[in-house]
Amino acid sequence: MFTRETAPNVLSPEQEQILHEQAMRILQEIGTDVLHEGAKDLLKRNGQDVDGDRVRWDEAFVEEMVARAPSSFRVLGRNPERSITIGEGAQVWANVGGPPFASDLDEGRRSGRIQDHDALVKLTQATDVLACVQSGAVEAVDLPHWTRHLDMDYSVLRFSDKPYTCYGTSGPKARDAIAMAAIVHGGRDAIERTPVTMGVVNSNSPLVWDFRMADALIAWAEANQPIIVTPFLLAGATAPVSVAGGLAQQVAETLSGVALAQAVRPGVPCLYGSFFTATDMRTGSPAFGTPESVVAVLAGAQLARRYGLPFRGGGALASSNAPDAQAMSEALMMMWATVLAGTDFVLHAAGWLEGGLTASFEKFALDLEILAWLRRIMERGIGFSEEELAFDALAELGPGGLFLESSHTMTHFRDWLSMSPVFTTPDHGSWEAQGSPTADVRANARWKKLLESYEDPGLDEAVDEELRAYIDKRKAEPPEDEE
Amino acid sequence: MFTRETAPNVLSPEQEQILHEQAMRILQEIGTDVLHEGAKDLLKRNGQDVDGDRVRWDEAFVEEMVARAPSSFRVLGRNPERSITIGEGAQVWANVGGPPFASDLDEGRRSGRIQDHDALVKLTQATDVLACVQSGAVEAVDLPHWTRHLDMDYSVLRFSDKPYTCYGTSGPKARDAIAMAAIVHGGRDAIERTPVTMGVVNSNSPLVWDFRMADALIAWAEANQPIIVTPFLLAGATAPVSVAGGLAQQVAETLSGVALAQAVRPGVPCLYGSFFTATDMRTGSPAFGTPESVVAVLAGAQLARRYGLPFRGGGALASSNAPDAQAMSEALMMMWATVLAGTDFVLHAAGWLEGGLTASFEKFALDLEILAWLRRIMERGIGFSEEELAFDALAELGPGGLFLESSHTMTHFRDWLSMSPVFTTPDHGSWEAQGSPTADVRANARWKKLLESYEDPGLDEAVDEELRAYIDKRKAEPPEDEE
């Protein structure tokens, strides 16, 4: 249930076409700024109109380039059995990434530390519902700014054997990520043959490809690692305050990024990325879960299908300051949209709080419960075996019987009923006797138990040494000038 | 978006047929107990096999009776402009009903009082998203058991002018509800021509129509008031522990109730009611929001479509003891299923907590926010005016511009962006300075403000006197023997 095939078409064919045409008009008439000489040279050689930093893109070129991108691709896991395929129906979910703060009920909110990062990686490794790890799960603010990307990517490579998205907010960082991935996965040639990591690029909306992002995009394209091209659109801030206006801008920015990547390396996997939400005009902060953000995910997925690109969007996004009723209302609005849209790849599916400023351990545990439910709905459907139809069980009990202690119930309830360790149903008296714990309190116990269950996948000692040597060497070098 | 037409068919045509055949086999081979002499006589006269209390139903009879029920119908509001049509696409939502306890952050959890009931009725009247009021919003436990139904129905008739579901857990109570509705709506003949209230009947699952419910069903059928036939199915308790088994039982119980109603009065409106959820086997309590309950709502709606009956199901159902992250996770799982299913009529869309044991004022306010979002998604779609496409606004700002203070944003953000009074996004420092309020705290302020905004629709003085005289007369009579 809830696949790409059943995703609702929230845009009519005419509306799809209008958005496409407006996106092409944006690229041709307004154009984008591209603050990267190499990229501009390449685009110029490909016949694009380059005037200073402004690039005006030709529709035929953009469409030709986008057509080069595959509709699906595989990402190899360090454990090959954990490899993932993106774009063929299965929805791949990954943990939160990017917050400068971490929080849990024990220590409260604090700047992110590498130990928090390690813990989030281990939690992602330990749970079945997340098939992919995101590096930068929380920013390791306790480590030096210029080199902490090395430590965060190492955290992923050391503590998880799942496919991952690497850190890479600039070209040098993306190149480090590629070098480290190559060390672990048998060299650069090997990872160019089959990707092992993915990178996220955000245009500087509206309509700017800044040096860092363009440079990272080029690095990943050259290495044939999949690129998640995601304009970061806040309606009324970095995009128009209307959904249709934001979608046209999204298409323009995403396709120009994909076109640049394909010009660098034909066939490099690219995702159509959607991150489009409302701005709370009272505070200037992003507001998640609103109708605009829900509709935008559904429409974004439809546009990705139009262009034959796998879709990245949605997530358990929430604006709330606490893992409370607001946080889960917002997260469920977004995750239902994500699931309905048949989304191929989902970042921030667990742990995102406070508009992305905080990686919350309790929110992480709460999200996992939702993800497990949604996964079960998608994969399981309704069983129609004789035992599940249960005519005999009903006939045996007859009118007025009680199934609670029937052998049919006792035999099957563990397999057929979902019982959550976090969402519980004690009677009111028992609950009060426990101290009236709200769900965040149980979520606190839950993530700790999940962390205890973590099993170290190990890392070959020689590989580990080579990785560490690379990191040490890079830390000894002077910081690169990135701009 | 999300209408009956787009509702997913979670059952294949073959599976639908299997469930239908099994339901008919249940009715024919096992049968139901019917603990009501009048009902048994009527069924016997209609050719059904009556053996003691056991009635074995004939498929042709059941199908002929069900075919008599209309696929849609109108319920007149005391304010005619608030009248509703059920079964023609619009989803009608009503407040919580039935809990013995009320709770709010100020007074905590206590036995329900008539003042709580009045407040919940006023809140339902005051909000746009609830088009129907449910009597018995909370049980007025402070009033005498035998007569409080009169006070709760009066509470609805006095403080609201929306269509309503009446109290009626027995024949005499249903007849009181009808008598009171007739007083307000111009007499019995008038309400028989166009219904003004609806009644809920729950079979005593599995497969028992007890005296009280059968008697209430007959009373409403005789008065031509719509009947919401809803087996109360808990997988593993009152139904088999499997979804397919529960659905077959649901069809059998619902259709037998509808058949009885149609035998009493051909053409009386009936809804196919679904209330089917998992049992938390750790506590024996109902567990809401689980995959089983989500899938059951979707499948129930599909079965209702098969039989041409309007569908009642879902709601903002939650098991949690508090209006917390669990409560809203559960409620949103259920409400998304409700919306996706194209549900015609929804009870308990706001305020339900603790598996239905508590009517929570804060949960009520939280649910209203979700309902407003869902309503906007369903009704609004994506606007494609030139102003919404916003090419000129983007061209004017150009690459790197900021929409926050643009005239386009300033002109439109109030209409185009959803900003919730309960779900807010203060920066962390401001939020801490406010005392780190979680969403339930803001919900507390919200329902009080909504209650303040309540406008008394008034009630004609003569009608009011007649109603009060009826209630006084009934209170003076000895309690009826109901069994």
At B169, list the tokens. Answer: 């857990």
Query: Residue A97 and residue B476: Cα distance in Å, rounded?
Result: 68
Question: Is the previous residue joined to B206 through a cis bond, with omega within 30 degrees of 0?
Answer: yes
- Residues of A in Cβ contact (< 8 Å) with B405: none
Whether pLDDT at B483 is above 70: no
Provide the 8-state DSSP code for A422: S
Laid out side by side, the sheet with B208-209 consists of B49-51, B54-56, B32-34, B208-209
At A224, list the tokens. Answer: 């044939």
The secondary element (H helix, E strand) that includes residue A327 is helix A325-340
* Contact indicator for A235, A190 with CB cutoff of 8 Å: no
CB atoms within 10 A of CB B103: 27
Residue A12, pLDDT score:
96
pLDDT tens per residue across span B336-383: 999 999 999 999 999 999 999 999 999 999 999 999 999 999 998 899
Comparing alpha-carbon positions, the chain B residue that sits nearest to A401 is B206
Count of alpha carbons within 13 angstroms of residue A318, beta-carbon side:
33
- Residues of A in Cβ contact (< 8 Å) with B239: 403
Q: How far is A349 from chain B (nearest CA, A)?
A: 15
* Contact indicator for A289, A319 with CB cutoff of 8 Å: yes
The letter for the amino acid at B181 is: A
Answer yes or no: do B295 and A422 touch at CB < 8 A. no
Whether pLDDT at A148 is above 70: yes
Nearest Cβ partner of A245 from B109, B295, B388? B388
Q: Which residues contact A246 (CB under 8 A, 6 or more apart)?
A: A233, A235, A239, A240, A276, A296
Residue A405, pLDDT score:
86
* Contact indicator for A160, A178 with CB cutoff of 8 Å: no
- Residues of A in Cβ contact (< 8 Å) with B278: 417-418
Instruction: Compute CA distances B133 → A139, B168, B197, B200, B461, whole Å.
Output: 50, 14, 10, 13, 22
Bigger pLDDT: B328 vs B478 = B328
User: How far is C-alpha B77 from the geometric centre of its chain's CA atoms?
Assistant: 17
Average pLDDT of span B289-300 = 97
Answer yes or no: do B417 and A278 touch at CB < 8 A. yes
At A90, list the tokens. Answer: 């299965």
Whether pLDDT at A479 is above 90: no
Phi, psi angles (nearest 5°) of residue A170: -160, 170
At B119, list the tokens. Answer: 């407040």
Phi, psi angles (nearest 5°) of residue A346: -130, 115
In angstroms, how far is the first alpha carbon of chain A from the final one?
47
Query: Residue A198 and residue B31: Cα distance in Å, rounded?
Result: 60
Confidence at B481, pLDDT banded by 50, 70, 90? low
At A235, list the tokens. Answer: 């309606």
* Contact indicator for A349, A315 with CB cutoff of 8 Å: yes
Nearest Cβ partner of A18 from B15, B333, B384? B384
Helical packing angle, B361-380 and A291-306, nearest 10°: 40
- Residues of B in Cβ contact (< 8 Å) with A408: 240-241
User: pLDDT over 90 for what percent of chain A?
Assistant: 96
* Contact indicator for B19, B274 with CB cutoff of 8 Å: no
Residue written as token pair 């996706």: B340
pTM above 0.90, yes or no: yes
Average pLDDT, chain B: 97
Answer yes or no: do A369 and B329 touch at CB < 8 A. yes
CB-defined contacts A:B, below 8 A: 399
Answer yes or no: do B10 and A382 touch at CB < 8 A. yes
Answer yes or no: do A206 and B321 touch at CB < 8 A. no
Answer yes or no: do B390 and A280 touch at CB < 8 A. no
Question: Is the previous residue joined to B172 through a cis bond, with omega within 30 degrees of 0?
Answer: no
Beta-bridge mates of residue B134: B165
- Residues of B in Cβ contact (< 8 Å) with A279: 404, 413, 417
Query: Residue B166 and residue B98: Cα distance in Å, rounded?
Result: 11
At A446, list the tokens. Answer: 């839950």
Average pLDDT of span B150-155 = 98
Q: How far is B470 from chain A (nearest CA, A)?
A: 37
A246: three-class secondary structure by DSSP: helix
The secondary element (H helix, E strand) that includes residue A311 is strand A311-312
Closest CA to B89 of B341, B314, B334, B306: B341
Q: What is the dihedral of CA B297, B299, B302, B304, to 10 degrees?
A: -60
Confidence at A83, pLDDT banded by 50, 70, 90? very high
Q: How far is B11 from chain A (nearest CA, A)?
A: 8
Comparing alpha-carbon positions, the chain A residue that sits nearest to B389 is A245
3-state helix, strand, coil in chain B (%, to 5): 50, 15, 35
Answer yes or no: do B206 and A391 touch at CB < 8 A. no
Comparing alpha-carbon positions, the chain A residue that sits nearest to B319 is A425
Q: What is the largest CA-CA distance in chain B?
A: 82
A474: three-class secondary structure by DSSP: helix
Strands A49-51 and A270-273: unpaired
Instruction: Compute CA distances A238 → A293, B262, B303, B314, whole Å.
Output: 14, 59, 46, 38
Alpha-helix runs per DSSP H in A31-170: 37-45, 59-68, 114-126, 148-159
Residue A483, pLDDT score:
44
Beta strands of A378-462 (E only): which ranges?
none
Least confident among A47-51, A402-406, B158-162? A402-406
Residue written as token pair 């709606």: B301
Query: Residue B190 and residue B195: Cα distance in Å, rounded?
Result: 8
Q: Domains in chain B, ordered, with CATH?
A: 67-379 (3.20.20.480), 386-452 (no CATH)
- Residues of A in Cβ contact (< 8 Å) with B328: 325-326, 328-329, 332
Answer yes or no: do B428 and A109 touch at CB < 8 A. yes
pLDDT tens per residue across span A101-126: 999 999 999 999 999 999 999 999 99
Q: What is the DSSP string of A12-65?
A: -HHHHHHHHHHHHHIIIII-EEE--HHHHHHHHHTT-EEETTEEE--HHHHHHH
Residue A360, pLDDT score:
98
CB atoms within 10 A of CB B456: 11
Alpha-helix runs per DSSP H in B283-436: 291-306, 325-340, 361-380, 386-389, 391-397, 407-416, 428-433
Q: What is the DSSP string of A259-285?
A: HHHHHHSTT--EEEE-EEEEEETTTTE
The letter for the amino acid at A87 is: G
Whether pLDDT at A480 is above 80: no
At A420, list the tokens. Answer: 């959550």
Answer yes or no: do A389 and B439 touch at CB < 8 A. no
* Contact indicator for B289, A371 with CB cutoff of 8 Å: no
Strands B345-346 and B92-93: parallel
Query: Residue B411 and residue B391: Cα distance in Å, rounded?
Result: 15
Q: How far is B122 from chain A (nearest CA, A)?
A: 24
Residue written as token pair 């199908």: B63
- For the question of an ipTM over 0.90, the answer is yes
Average pLDDT of span B37-62 = 98
Task: Give the 3-state secondary structure of B187-236.
Answer: CHHHHHHCCCEEEEECCECCCEECHHHHHHHHHHHHCCCCEEECCEEEEC
Residue A481, pLDDT score:
63
B126: three-class secondary structure by DSSP: helix
A102: three-class secondary structure by DSSP: strand
Nearest Cβ partner of B241 from A373, A409, A436? A409
